[in-house]
Amino acid sequence: MMVRDFQSVVGIEAREQFVDMTGHLPDAVVACVGGGSNSAGFFAGFLNDPVDIYGVEPLGRGPKLGDHAASLQYGSEGIMHGFKSLMLKDENGDPAPVYSVSSGLDYPSSGPEHAFLHDLGRVTYDVIDDNDSIDAFFELSRMEGIIPALESAHAVAYGMKLAKKMGKGSVLINLSGRGDKDMDYVIEKYGIR
């Protein structure tokens, strides 16, 4: 509740600014989900609105356990770090090893409010893999001059796919952080595109 309430400033202000700029609500909002804080706060601004809400988890290298960190997509009920939520577990029921190209998303669970919103069906949780997030990292940098954090690039990749599927309407994407911190790693591993 503390995390959600503190971070909700972002969701409340994003909603206000979007309505000021466009005169209407977005049709959909998108945020990446690691431990769940940026998305919990962002979504809080829209939970009572007729807006589709999407949480994007990291699919990493693929759906095999150990290759991703999509706990809401592939996890089951578990307790770790003092909270009960959906969790990726190893054969002993302990938190499983996880992986994502973005260090901030490789966590084997997400805050319990996400498990609740998942069960309610109020938020749609889906996944984006490393490759699509890297493509989105370059695309947003090139097209808008905004370098997204690799975590946020997962939300950007999903937002772009969603926009194509929707055809018309508006999608508001939360950029949870800037990608300056990821530049050296991305250029070393993927070169300049």
Residues that bind ligand PLP in the complex, under the rule CB under 6 A:
32-39, 104-105, 149, 151-152, 176-177
C-beta closer to ligand PLP: residue 18 or 38: 38
C-beta closer to ligand PLP: residue 91 or 184: 184
Closest approach of ligand PLP to the CB of residue 192, in Å: 22
C-beta closer to ligand PLP: residue 32 or 117: 32
Closest approach of ligand PLP to the CB of residue 113, in Å: 11
Integer Cα distance of 20 and 35 in angstroms = 31
C-beta closer to ligand PLP: residue 41 or 78: 41
Grouping H, G, I as helix, E, B as strand and the rest as coil, residue 58 is strand
C-beta closer to ligand PLP: residue 37 or 133: 37
The alpha carbon dihedral of 18, 152, 61, 110 has a sign of negative
Closest approach of ligand PLP to the CB of residue 22, in Å: 25
Residue 115 makes CB contacts below 8 A (sequence gap 6+) with 72, 77, 84, 85, 86
Residue 140 makes CB contacts below 8 A (sequence gap 6+) with 146, 147, 148, 153, 156
C-beta closer to ligand PLP: residue 33 or 128: 33
Closest approach of ligand PLP to the CB of residue 175, in Å: 8
Output the six-digit token pair for 65.
């356990």
Please say whether the beta carbons of 150 and 186 come within 8 A: yes
Task: Tell me which residue of 19, 14, 17, 16 sits closest to 30, measured CA to CA.
Answer: 14
Closest approach of ligand PLP to the CB of residue 112, in Å: 13
Q: Which H or E run includes 173?
A: strand 171-173
Closest approach of ligand PLP to the CB of residue 134, in Å: 15
